[in-house]
Amino acid sequence: MQQPHTVRVPRKARATAALLAVGAALAGGLVPGSATASSHREAPLIAADPTVDNTDLYAFVSPDKPDTVTIVANYFGFQEPVGGPNFYPWAENAHYDINIDNDGDAKPDLTFRYTFTTDDRRKNATFLYNNGEVTSINDENLLFRQNYKLELIDQRGAGKVLIKSARSAPSNTGAASMPDFRTIRDQAIAQVPGGGLSFAGPAEDSFFADLRVFDLLYGGDLSKTGQDTLRGFNVNTIALQIPTHLLALKGDAKRNPVIGLWADTERQSLKLSPGKAKAEGDFVQVSRLGNPLVNEVVAPAGLKDAFNGLTPDQDGKVKALLDRVTDPELPKLIEQIYKIQAPAGPREDLVEIFLTGVTTKAGGPIKADLNSQLNNADVMAHMFVPSEMLRLNMAVPPTAEPNRLGVLGGDNQGFPNGRRLTDDVIDIAIQAMEGAAQSGNLVQALAAGDKVDANDVAFEQRFPYVAVPSNAAVNSAVQAQVETKSSILGDLPAGALIGGALGALVLLGGTVYLWRKRPTKARHRSTRPW
């Protein structure tokens, strides 16, 4: 294992004139904050570059190591498992960032950055990803390999290399090629200095939901819900497990247990010529994800690309998005289609859930102290900035029997206090949008939700917790039989369901992204042990 050494990370450029124009047009107020689920293909520009598209972000106290937090960030949704010959590599010339804000100023105090390189040994010899059975991550038959570097960047912009070179798990190309993929997957788990673990590679998509919500809220007939649209899809996953004290403000997880998290990806623009694509220029933020489905459902179509270019400290400039929180669209649609009266506005309960965290110190209507950085003993309240991010109270211990409805189900370790893999965020968010968090009572007419209450494949009990990726096609005869039986008998046992569906692979094609990340401002020197 490489020992960490100090490197210097250049400051990033401020937003381009395009972002300033958007900010000026929409300025004045706070930003987003409601959600119902995930972030697959949520905005026009990022839908054309799926390799760097954040799909889901999870953060939870590790159930088997409660002195650590596990963060799972997924990318590149709707992967058809048999989508060769190139399958689903990580993007080069891109930054995959996981950001931590522990003092509530909406700026990252810690950024864990993954960058990938490719070792393609096929050259002109073959079109195959592997030319024989692959039994280990270093098997000579594995012809396409990717490695990554993991850096830790502090609030001053200075960084340390935590892992100089670690192997990403390859795509699962099929049972004949990789008969024991779990062994290969586990070999891709790397040690992080300070007591952490890191993994990058494919996984079965952790998100579960009936996405026919976009067909006029299930076509106006809740009896026709229950199809897990994500069944069998794979994603690219980064999983990172870090001791709680290394994430907490001043290194003290007892006094300062609450952290805020978001993931973002940055791309260099591509210059295209016949048969070639050259990355050049500044890195530009092209995707962002904190709470699930903020951009996908809350933001109107015209603001989705702008949201992906914003950072949390810029949220206050976009009043148009804040207005979609305090006066959300979804309850109005439910009232129109299902005749269930929408709660009266302005919706300060949603502002509290998604912009400030749940706390009595922000003057919101939910009378509890759960997951706001304002609850940290050493936070300076005047520096606190309401902003959209996933917030986690690391002092809430893991639950022996997690409730899929999280906090609404009486389980304070679940969403919106962080997000576990098993949290049913579609059902939770629908109830929250209908006022359940403020009233303390579920809306019984919507209690069944989308009737997809759990993932089709069981999650694992140890790091990286996500399920191994599927290796069978969605439209196979076996998958059709599974779907038929499932519709009659309910979900089959974990491991019995297979498949995936082909997410359209669209080249970036030289698209110039118009947003850049804010520069890191110098602040107090970090005293982290890394």
Where are the alpha helices (H) located in 264-368, listed in sequence order? 304-309, 319-326, 329-338, 348-351
- Of the pLDDT bands very low, low, confident and very high (cuts 50, 70, 90), residue 151 is very high
Percent of the residues in the chain that have a pLDDT greater than 70, as a whole number? 81
What pLDDT, on a 0 to 100 scale, did the predictor assign at position 39? 59
Within 10 angstroms of residue 152's Cβ, the number of other Cβ atoms is 23
User: Is the bond preceding 292 in cis, omega lying within 30 degrees of 0?
Assistant: no
- Of the pLDDT bands very low, low, confident and very high (cuts 50, 70, 90), residue 530 is low
- Of the pLDDT bands very low, low, confident and very high (cuts 50, 70, 90), residue 521 is very low
What pLDDT, on a 0 to 100 scale, did the predictor assign at position 501? 33
Task: Dump pLDDT digits (tens) for 493-509.
Answer: 333 333 333 333 332 33
The number of CA neighbours under 13 Å toward the Cβ of 257 is: 18
Dig out the tokens for 239 from the structure.
Answer: 């999983």
Supply the DSSP symbol for 427. H
Q: Alpha-carbon distance 288 to 249, whole Å?
A: 23
- Of the pLDDT bands very low, low, confident and very high (cuts 50, 70, 90), residue 525 is very low
Average pLDDT, integer, range 286-306: 81
Kindly give, in sequence order, each residue whose CB lies less than 8 Å from that of residue 156, ignoring residues fewer than 6 positions away: 520, 522, 523, 525, 526
- Of the pLDDT bands very low, low, confident and very high (cuts 50, 70, 90), residue 516 is very low
Task: Dump pLDDT digits (tens) for 16-74.
Answer: 333 333 333 223 333 222 333 355 656 668 888 899 999 999 999 999 999 999 999 99
Kindly give, in sequence order, each residue whose CB lies less than 8 Å from that of residue 140, ignoring residues fewer than 6 positions away: none
Residue in 443, 405, 420, 345 with CA at minimum distance from that of residue 57: 420
What pLDDT, on a 0 to 100 scale, did the predictor assign at position 475? 75
Mean pLDDT is lowest, of 52-56, 136-140, 270-274, for 270-274
Q: Alpha-carbon distance 446 to 429, whole Å?
A: 11
Mean pLDDT is lowest, of 233-237, 321-325, 401-405, 462-466, for 321-325
Contact 405, 422 (CB under 8 A): no
What pLDDT, on a 0 to 100 scale, did the predictor assign at position 216? 87
Residue in 57, 239, 62, 264 with CA at minimum distance from that of residue 148: 239
Contact 89, 122 (CB under 8 A): no
- Of the pLDDT bands very low, low, confident and very high (cuts 50, 70, 90), residue 306 is confident
What pLDDT, on a 0 to 100 scale, did the predictor assign at position 27? 31
Which position has the token pair 């992080």? 192
**Which residues does residue 144 pair with via DSSP β-bridges, in sequence order?**
120
Which residue has better confidence, 138 or 30? 138
Task: Dump pLDDT digits (tens) for 435-461.
Answer: 999 898 999 999 999 999 999 999 999
The widest CA-to-CA distance across the chain, in whole angstroms, is 66
- Of the pLDDT bands very low, low, confident and very high (cuts 50, 70, 90), residue 322 is confident
The number of CA neighbours under 13 Å toward the Cβ of 272 is: 8
- Phi, psi of 243, deg, nearest 5: -55, 140
pLDDT at position 114 over 90? yes
Where are the alpha helices (H) located in 154-232, listed in sequence order? 181-187, 216-219
Per-domain boundaries in the chain: 46-446
Distance between start and end Cα atoms, the chain: 14
Task: Dump pLDDT digits (tens) for 80-96.
Answer: 999 999 999 999 999 99
pLDDT at position 222 over 80? yes
Task: Dump pLDDT digits (tens) for 224-257.
Answer: 899 998 898 999 999 999 999 999 999 999 999 9
User: Is the bond preceding 416 in cis, omega lying within 30 degrees of 0?
Assistant: yes
Burial class (CB in 10 A: 0-12, 13-18, 19+), 524: exposed
Contacts 24+ apart (CB under 8 A), 332-339: 333/217, 334/217, 334/430, 334/433, 334/434, 334/446, 337/216, 337/217, 337/220, 338/217, 338/220, 338/222, 338/445, 338/446
Where are the alpha helices (H) located in 188-317, listed in sequence order? 216-219, 244-247, 304-309
- Of the pLDDT bands very low, low, confident and very high (cuts 50, 70, 90), residue 307 is confident
Write the CA distances from 196 to 11, 18, 158, 191, 417, integer angstroms: 27, 40, 20, 6, 22
Average pLDDT, integer, range 356-383: 94
pLDDT at position 513 over 50? no
What pLDDT, on a 0 to 100 scale, did the predictor assign at position 520? 37
Average pLDDT, integer, range 459-486: 75
Contact 45, 308 (CB under 8 A): yes
Q: What is the mean pLDDT of the chain?
A: 83
- Of the pLDDT bands very low, low, confident and very high (cuts 50, 70, 90), residue 522 is very low
Tell me the whole-structure pTM to 2 decimals. Answer: 0.83
Residue in 95, 121, 100 with CA at minimum distance from that of residue 110: 100
What pLDDT, on a 0 to 100 scale, did the predictor assign at position 295? 73
Which position has the token pair 């919106």? 416
